[in-house]
């Protein structure tokens, strides 16, 4: 059996400076390193760990500082949130021609020329047609809303709920006049699902779901 002999030193090794330290012997060369390069290598290899430790130390200091001022920070955040909310409601009312509703202790909801505050903004090249609503606990307690598909039945119901909710939060509402009694609850279930902004009505969404179920059911049975 042949025995592999160790690689012979490179013939130029003798010319290497004395402060060079041999690091590795290659096929026809020698690799050297200096103390300066070794120190730089150590810095690079340990840089990530030091960065993580420094970041954690800074993060811990920030947490301690915040903890000492927690009550003041939370109070400032609440005040800023309140200002932001009121400013946003005022900006929307001014920009979109909202009116101040009359909040009464009665049992009547009477809105004249009401508009859906969201869908109205989506009608860029179209005019949102306003409509009225009258509900009370006497002679107009229940409304039966009929119409063809995509006629706006769900929108009409959502609009009423949104305007009542906005009025109770202290906001102006999109209408020409409104008298709204105190409402403590709003219950609604309007269709299974819809996406009116892209033209998908409740009925269309339901038909799509039925078609999806039918296709997958048939595929499973055929498989």
Q: Is the CB of residue 114 less than 8 Å from the CB of residue 175? A: yes
- Neighbouring residues of 137: CB distance < 8 A, sequence distance ≥ 6: 107, 108
Return the CATH fold of 99-207: Rossmann fold (3.40.50)
Average pLDDT per 10 consecutive residues for the chain, totaling 223 residues: 49 69 73 80 82 94 93 95 95 94 93 93 84 91 83 86 94 96 77 65 75 67 51
Q: Under DSSP, is residue 194 helix (H, G, I), strand (E, B) or coil?
A: coil
Q: pTM, whole model, 2 decimals?
A: 0.59
Q: What integer pLDDT is reported at residue 3 of this predicted model?
A: 46
Q: What is the pLDDT at residue 2?
A: 42
pLDDT confidence of residue 223? 53
pLDDT of residue 33: 78
């Amino acid at each position: 059996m042949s025995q592999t002999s160790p690689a012979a030193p490179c013939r130029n090794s003798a010319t290497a400076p004395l402060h060079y330290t041999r690091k590795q012997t290659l096929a026809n060369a020698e690799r050297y390193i200096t103390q300066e390069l070794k120190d730089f290598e150590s810095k690079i290899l340990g840089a990530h760990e030091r960065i993580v430790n420094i970041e954690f130390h800074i993060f811990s200091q920030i947490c301690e500082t915040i903890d000492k001022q927690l009550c003041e920070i939370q109070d400032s955040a609440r005040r800023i949130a309140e200002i932001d909310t009121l400013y946003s409601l005022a900006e929307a009312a001014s920009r979109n021609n909202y009116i101040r509703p009359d909040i009464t202790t009665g049992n009547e909801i009477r809105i004249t020329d009401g508009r859906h505050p969201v869908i109205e903004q989506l009608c860029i090249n179209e005019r949102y047609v306003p409509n009225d609503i009258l509900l009370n606990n006497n002679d107009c307690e229940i409304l039966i809303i009929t119409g063809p598909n995509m006629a706006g039945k769900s929108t009409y119901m959502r609009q009423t709920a949104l305007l009542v909710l906005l009025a109770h939060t202290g906001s102006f509402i999109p209408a020409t006049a409104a008298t709204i009694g105190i409402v403590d609850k709003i219950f609604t279930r309007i269709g299974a699902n819809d996406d009116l902004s892209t033209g998908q009505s409740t009925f269309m969404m339901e038909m799509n779901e039925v078609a999806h179920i039918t296709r997958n059911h048939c595929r499973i049975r055929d498989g």
